[in-house]
Amino acid sequence: MKLKHDVRAVARQFQIPGEFLGAEPYGSGHINDTYCAVFDQAGVRVRYVLQRINHNIFENPAALMENIQRVTTHLEKKCAGQPDPSRRVLTLMPARDGTVFYRDAEGNYWRTYIFIEKARTFDAVESAEQAFKAAKAFGQFQKLLADLPAPRLHDTIPDFHHTPKRFAALEKALVADVANRAKLAKPEIEFALNHRAICGALIAANLPERVTHNDTKFNNVMLDEATGEGICVIDLDTVMPGLALYDFGDMVRTTTSPAKEDERDLSKVTMQFPMFEALARGYLSSAADFLTPAEKKFLVFSGKLITFEIGLRFLTDFLAGDVYFKVHRDGHNLDRCRTQFHLAGSIGQQEEKMNQLVESI
């Protein structure tokens, strides 16, 4: 298969020993171009992950890489005493010039990670045990980064989870309607407009700023093949100052419904209470000792809000003509928006019971 990029030439720019055997596109992320490259190192096949950072979305890749380097170095120190430490944190490979990224002639930014073997990601949750383990790992991630030394991390995407600004972006896209698609999304637009009132609630709550991941979807944590443990949190591009609840909210969004994000059969999209219970217990098993009572109070709400927010973003991108998220079929962003709004509704219906559960933990 002919690849979009000359991965062999890119790989040569990193200090990877051995002979390049081949590469293929990898994973199902919506933003970066990810490749798995295989090397022969003295007869042993060793894999690496090469990624082109989407610099239309991340406007300052050098600052982003500085964040990732600081975060991984910190986590590495913290994981030193644990079993299998090198699989618990992403490891950046140095480029030829000793920095952690390479800029090609076309202006693309590339980085290379050691491949985390004997672990995998899932696009949809399969069991309550997985939900528990993923949430525990993301909670642990926040906990380990609580004492990251100053300075403050760079904001790799300013106002990333500022829901009122996401709402304003939708309104703008609606007025412009550049792709003439508003007529195809009438019920979704109505749902969005009806929920304007919830957008500002987390910002108004004056919660503490922390170092957070901000993109804790279920396929951004690798689960160990043997134990199921959330062994390594990945996709660190959006690690920056944020609210703990942005992370918990995105876990609720991606880990309580058994359906994929782009499922067309909405009857499959539902907030499953046992999954939420496992998720909340998993997260609180690592995060309970640093969360404030106010943060705890908003855990369930954050699930509804972040699910709604990502739905807003998919709808906005649908109206804008699919310029942000990778799409693989017509109406893909609208399908994604529909699952999110459906799930936000399902969370809304069960909110009281979910809150009672959190209070009891």
Would you tell me which residues interact with ligand ADP (CB under 6 A)? 26-27, 29-32, 34, 49, 90, 113, 115-116, 121, 219-220, 234-235
Would you count residue 220 as binding Mg ion (CB under 5 A)? yes
Closer CB to ligand ADP, 30 or 313, in the complex: 30
DSSP string, 182-197: GGG-HHHHHHHHHTGG
User: Scanning residues 28 to 47, which ones bind Mg ion (CB under 5 A)?
Assistant: 29
Binders in 287-316 for ligand GN1, by CB under 6 A: 310
| Residue number with CB closer to ligand ADP (220 or 270) | 220
Round to whole Å and give the CA distance between 345 and 219: 23
Peptide bond into 94 cis (omega under 30): no
Strand order in the sheet with 102-103: 19-25, 33-41, 44-53, 109-114, 102-103
Q: Closest approach of Cβ 218 to Mg ion, in Å?
A: 10
CA distance 280 to 283: 5
For Mg ion, the closer of residues 29 and 282 by Cβ is 29
Nearer to ligand ADP, 186 or 329 (CB): 329
Residue 310 binding result from ligand GN1, ligand ADP, Mg ion, none, given CB thresholds of 5 to 8 Å by partner type? ligand GN1
For 231, counting Cβ atoms within 10 Å of its Cβ (0-12 exposed, 13-18 middle, 19+ buried), the class is buried
How deeply is 81 buried, as exposed, middle or buried, from its count of CB atoms within 10 A (0-12, 13-18, 19+)?
exposed
Q: Which of 217, 281, 332, 338 binds ligand GN1 (CB under 6 A)?
A: 217
Burial of 171 (0-12, 13-18, 19+ CB in 10 A): middle
Which one of residues 16, 31, 233, 284 is an interface residue with ligand GN1 (CB under 6 A)?
31
Q: What is the dihedral of CA 138, 139, 145, 147, to 10 degrees?
A: 180
Q: Which does 238 bind (CB under 5 to 8 A by kind): ligand ADP, ligand GN1, Mg ion, none?
A: ligand GN1
Q: How far is the CB of 237 from ligand GN1 (least distance, A)?
A: 6
Q: How far is the CB of 29 from ligand ADP (least distance, A)?
A: 2
- Taking the complex as a whole, the smallest distance from the CB of residue 117 to ligand ADP amounts, in Å, to 8
In the complex, the smallest distance separating the C-beta of residue 53 from ligand ADP, rounded to whole angstroms, is 9
Q: Which residues of 7-21 are buried (b: 16+ CB within 10 A; e: fewer)?
A: beebbebbebeeebe
Q: What angle is formed at CA 211 by the lines to CA 205 and CA 216, rounded to 5 degrees?
A: 85
Binding site for ligand GN1 (CB under 6 A): 29-31, 57, 215, 217, 220, 235, 237-238, 261, 310
Binding site for Mg ion (CB under 5 A): 29, 220, 235
